[in-house]
Amino acid sequence: AIQMTQSPSSLSASVGDRVTITCRASQGIKNDLGWYQQKAGNGPNLLIYAASTLHAGVPSRFSGSGSGTDFTLTISNLQPEDSATYYCLQDYTYPRTFGQGTKVEVK
Amino acid sequence: EVRVVESGGGTVQPGGSLRLSCVASGFTFGDHWMIWIRRAPGKGLEWVANIDEGGNKKFYADSVVGRFTISRDNAKNSLFLQMDGLRVEDTALYYCARDLNYNDKGHYFDVIDLWGQGTMVTVSS
């Protein structure tokens, strides 16, 4: 199975900051990658699919980039409601695999 | 309202079985791939299994293959996960989710846009 390595595992940043989360695949996955946000007590929410396509209704401060093995999720102008855990998910092949998650705290 | 609601979780001994259900409403269930994903306590998300619109194609995580079976009944807008040979490490909150399976010029992307609140499975002696 493809391994997805996310970093950092956690971060703390202030309102208005720009944060970047990275995800590295153990082999090339083209642009077959999504990013999901999970807040405490809730089911996950889709942010981005196809590595860089913003899902409908997701604020434009979220953006994704990358292809092949290296991907990034960027949150510009961090807001208090962005406190959550973020996951990447490869959909290049089966079985699908998630990264370990990045917990974002907004100070 | 567009939603999916899971049920069937509970506590079971190692080696036991459980059958999870997910009922969909507010959309044409039979038009979509469906997925089970889980989150163990204190851990991250793990993709478990998915099934195509007609129930013909099924895929599983390595950790559950041969023990779990995904199925669906489109007439009842329902998705199922039969879990046999349960292990302590299967303890998790199990989510049902919809995949829009977006087609971009013949290439399909998973677009998991609708999730339930989950049903808790505890495997313990």
**pLDDT at residue B51 in the model:** 98
In single-letter form, the type of residue at position A10 comes to S
3-class DSSP state for residue B89? Answer: helix
Residues in chain B within 8 Å Cβ distance of A98: 44-47
Assess contact for B79 and B24: CB atoms under 8 A: yes
Per-residue DSSP letter, B41: T
Residues in chain B within 8 Å Cβ distance of A35: none
The number of residues in chain A equals 107
**pLDDT at residue B106 in the model:** 86
pLDDT of A9 strictly over 90 = yes
pLDDT of B100 strictly over 90 = no
Q: How close B124 comes to chain A (CA, Å)? A: 23
Closest-CA residue in chain A for B3?
A43
**pLDDT at residue B105 in the model:** 86
pLDDT digits (tens, 9 = 90+) for B19-44: 999 999 999 999 999 999 999 999 99
CB contact under 8 A, B116 and A43: yes
pLDDT digits (tens, 9 = 90+) for B59-72: 999 999 999 999 99
Best CA proximity match to A85, nearest among A41, A29, A33: A41
Q: How close A39 comes to chain B (CA, Å)? A: 12
Q: Residue by residue, what is the 3-state secondary structure of chain A? A: CCCEEEECCEEEECCCCCEEEEEEECCCCCCCEEEEEECCCCCCEEEEECCCEECCCCCCCEEEEEECCEEEEEECCCCHHHCEEEEEEECCCCCCEECCCEEEEEC
Closest-CA residue in chain A for B35?
A96
Residues in chain B within 8 Å Cβ distance of A87: 44-45
Residue to mutate among B37, B38, B39, B45, with most A CBs inside 10 A, is B45
3-class DSSP state for residue B30? Answer: helix
**pLDDT at residue B104 in the model:** 84
Residues in chain B within 8 Å Cβ distance of A50: 102, 104, 109
Q: Over range A72-100, report the average pLDDT.
A: 97
List b or e across A17-32, with b for residues whose CB sees 16 or more CB atoms inside 10 angstroms. Answer: eebebbbbbeeebebb
Closest-CA residue in chain B for A37?
B45
pLDDT of A62 strictly over 90 = yes
Alpha-carbon distance of A18 to A53, in angstroms, equals: 19
pLDDT digits (tens, 9 = 90+) for A12-54: 999 999 999 999 999 999 999 999 999 988 899 999 999 999 9
Task: Please state, for a pLDDT cut of 90, what percent of chain B lies above it.
Answer: 91
In single-letter form, the type of residue at position B107 comes to H
Q: Residue B103: which pLDDT band, with cuts at 50, 70 and 90?
A: confident
Cβ-nearest to B47 among A43, A50, A89: A89
